[in-house]
Structure 1
Amino acid sequence: MSIGNSPEDERPFQDVSEETRTSVGRALQQARIAAGLTVDDVSSATRVRIAIVHAIEADNFAPCGGDVYARGHIRTLAKAVRLDPAPLIERYDADHGGRPAPTPAAPLFEAERIRPERRGPNWTAAMVAAIVAVVGFVGFTAFKGGDDGSGATDQVAQGATPTSGKSASPTPKKSKPADEKPEPSDSAIAAAPQDKVTVQVSAANGRSWISAKDHNGRMLFDGLLNKGDSKTFQDSSKINLILGDAGAIQLYVNGKKIEDDFQPGAVERLTYTKGDPEVG
């Protein structure tokens, strides 16, 4: 019987570096808390559902629906909490069998593959041709009726009278303001009422999610502005904003251009009141 260390005592120590390193979900959660954001704030800024944000922070990527979607959510959440997404995505790939092949991303573009189908335009062309044929037939019948007798001529004259009379004028007057309302000009912003706060949000440098509330907390808008889009909000005392990507946004408050140097991908929470703009 030998006395000494057993074979188990001579085994090398287990490397626990992989176990102790910060996981993807834990890194996102710590960055969110450090940025002073709640899960609701991140969900509003990124449009990622609250349940999915909670699941990702718990390293449960099943609700994402696949590796392609999980990597996209990780990238979006990392930008919202001001983290570099590249190391997190590399860590995710290492933990889940490497970078996914390009083929699983095909479902993302199914909608775009459907668009080139010409069934819709063909139906449209057929409808236009039918309308042109009906209009031509009606016009031919009206002119033919005018040559045969005065009855048809009276009908054509009576039908033309309302278009040239006073009753036809209100129609274009009503349609013009309706066309101008959705996109107020810069001069309209400059002439904003002094007793109200007016904020114009323009996606000048790219697209961004924005959220706007009035002084009572009522939601005025919560959605995505594509590049070139703009929204104008007005309230009696205060407008609260959350910008998902502040670097893509240009603000005009009470007719004045805001010159703040917002960084691309930065989430900004702003409040503007009557008078000179004030950052909340």
Structure 2
Amino acid sequence: MSLDNLTLGTEIRDARERAGYTLNKIAEITRIREAVIADIESDNFSSCGGNAYARGHIRTIAKVLKLNADSLIEKFAKATGDFDRPMIDLLEESSVVKPRPVRPQVSYKALASVAAGVVALLIAVPAVISLFPSNETSPNPSSQGAVPSTTDKNSTVVATKTSGVSLVVTGISGKSWMGIQDASGAQVFSGSISNGETKSFTDDQLLQVTIGNAAAVSLNVNGREIGTPGGTGEVVHLSFEPGNSNNG
């Protein structure tokens, strides 16, 4: 009998028997379950798991039995009505891949209408805005932020009272040396102060001050002017605490 007159399953079974293979042996070689091979030989492809898998099984078996795989696939297509379908369709049918999402059909007429509406809106908005008077006014100079003032070196500096201790030292004649420590004994300042210079110091608890040539400087402690702390060439040691302008 001509091979063309044989069904796919019959051609595979005859070739297997001629080669001396059992169903179990073909299953061992191809890694296809014996029951599936038996169904294929009976032209029953339901146990293959889908047409994509069925085609793969047929080609694998054809390779082992040295059969024409394309001829067998053609017989499979005639038997199932599955002619030249795209592989992606076969994979989706066999649940190998997720079904492709259906893209919504876009109406070009609708897109044109939306575009025309947007253009009309862009034209109309500026025209409507132009109908209303502008409420913008020029800036009022009086509302601008104040410009910080500068103090020349001969002006008097007044210290404001703080929650801690504050000290303002102003050089009034000649030159004086000064050393200042905080409550922990750390050095806050060590250096000279000349006529016209002003230096400010603050601490939460205590300022300990040593001044050489005490007559050359004037002190303002916690917002209170106390003047020169000593005479010309005199070295003084002072301590100032919050709310206390008396030296110790």
Bigger relative CO (Cα 8 Å, ≥ 6 apart): 1
Indicate the TM-score class for this superposition, using the shorter chain for normalisation: 0.3 to 0.5
TM-score normalised by structure 1 residue count: 0.33
Q: Of Structure 1 and Structure 2, which has the larger fraction of its residues in helix?
A: 1
Greater fraction of residues in strand? 2
Point out the structure with max Rg over C-alpha.
2
Q: Normalization by structure 2: what TM-score?
A: 0.37
